[in-house]
């Protein structure tokens, strides 16, 4: 199966892979990683119990893998975003 990479967004997980492979990130990419980490910690710390934590964790992992990293540059969206 051939995948058109033009339609697949660069995700947070893609940026993490590049970071850990010592591939330089742009300032924008580094900011997206920082915003994602802040968001992830905020959401997981708000979990009410173990099952709530697991659900939030699963959703955040999906976002990190499927969403464009540029989503995490929009800080106004992060304030109102619910995982």
Enumerate the domain spans of the chain: 12-80
On average, the pLDDT of the chain sits at 88
pLDDT, position 83:
44
Token representation of residue 44: 């997981």
In the chain, which residues have pLDDT < 70?
A: 1-6, 75-83
**pTM for the structure as a whole:** 0.80
Contact between residue 71 and residue 12 where contact means Cβ atoms under 8 Å apart: no
pLDDT, position 39:
92
pLDDT, position 5:
59
Contact between residue 4 and residue 59 where contact means Cβ atoms under 8 Å apart: no
pLDDT, position 80:
56
């Amino acid at each position: 199966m051939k995948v058109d990479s033009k339609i697949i967004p660069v995700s947070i997980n893609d940026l993490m892979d590049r970071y850990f492979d010592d591939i330089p990130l742009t300032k924008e990419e580094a900011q997206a990683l920082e915003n994602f980490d802040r968001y992830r910690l905020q959401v997981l710390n708000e979990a009410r119990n173990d099952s709530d934590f697991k659900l939030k964790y699963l959703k955040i992992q999906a976002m990190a893998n499927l969403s464009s990293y540029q989503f995490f540059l929009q800080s106004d969206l992060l304030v109102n975003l619910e995982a």
